[in-house]
């Protein structure tokens, strides 16, 4: 009969392996992408969380609620440390709406990024053009300042806006001051601007003038008695 004395026995538990502390991988897909000459590039990040991880790009038809991913493209294998991801592929189907996601798997489990959905054919931006601008026929006066409002469309070119002030009559205004309002407008905007720099008396006329690299446009004059 064998006897094991406590003093002679090794009762310590074996040290856990690093894999015992692993977790499912972390995965992220960026919300921006590029498409050039039929090649689509997607980026993101993966964190293997302690276990070698493989990443694929999954592709399928939209909408996002369909949750159908019928194509896979390998992005990375045996990832051992957190790293950025980049994949360029031609395997984007020519269908109205596409959804993609990154899927990361290791020995613990699988994680998915939030799907990114987009149309195959992006709308073509209209060509750049001269701005358009209109002035509201109503204005307010408070604390010695007049507030005027304009609707501006830069037509896809960075546009600067000024307020021209001067004297009437309305049929042939004479503008003597050009007050900067804003610069670099890059989209349609409704702009309110307050100023005290108006002629002291008589018939006052104001207008907004918008300028970009394509051309210049002015609103109709707004004239009134001070």
For residue range 66-105, list pLDDT tens digits in order. 889 999 999 999 999 999 999 999 999 999 999 999 999 9
pLDDT the model gives residue 15:
52
User: What is the percent of the chain with per-residue pLDDT over 90, rounded to a whole number?
Assistant: 81
pLDDT the model gives residue 12:
53
Mean pLDDT of 14-19: 52
pLDDT the model gives residue 20:
61
pLDDT the model gives residue 1:
41
pLDDT the model gives residue 44:
97
pLDDT the model gives residue 120:
87
Q: Answer whether residue 149 shows pLDDT above 80.
A: yes
Q: Answer whether residue 224 shows pLDDT above 80.
A: yes
Domains and CATH numbers, the chain: 23-119 (2.60.40.2060), 132-225 (2.60.40.10)
pLDDT the model gives residue 127:
87
CB proximity list for 131: less than 8 A, separation 6 or greater: 152, 153, 154, 155, 157, 159, 210, 211, 212, 214, 215, 216, 217
């Amino acid at each position: 009969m064998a006897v094991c004395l406590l003093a002679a026995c090794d009762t310590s538990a074996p040290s856990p392996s690093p894999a015992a502390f692993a977790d499912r991988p972390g995965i992220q897909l960026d919300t921006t992408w590029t498409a050039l000459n039929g090649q689509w590039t997607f980026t993101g990040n993966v964190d293997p969380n302690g276990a070698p991880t493989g990443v694929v790009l999954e592709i399928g038809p939209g909408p996002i609620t369909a949750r159908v991913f019928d194509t896979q493209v390998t992005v990375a294998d045996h990832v051992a440390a957190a790293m950025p991801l980049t994949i360029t592929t031609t395997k984007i189907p020519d269908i109205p709406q596409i959804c993609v996601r990154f899927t990361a798997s290791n020995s613990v489990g699988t994680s998915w990024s939030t799907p990114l959905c987009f149309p195959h054919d992006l709308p073509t931006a209209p060509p750049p053009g001269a701005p358009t601008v209109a002035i509201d026929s109503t204005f307010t006066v408070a604390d010695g300042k007049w507030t005027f409002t304009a609707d501006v469309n830069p037509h896809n070119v960075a546009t600067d806006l000024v307020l021209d002030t001067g004297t009437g009559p309305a049929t042939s205004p004479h503008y003597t001051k050009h007050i900067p309002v804003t610069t670099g407008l890059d989209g349609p905007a409704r702009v309110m601007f307050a100023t005290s720099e108006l002629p002291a008396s008589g018939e006052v006329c104001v207008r907004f003038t918008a300028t970009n690299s394509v051309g210049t446009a002015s609103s109709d004059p707004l004239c009134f008695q001070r």
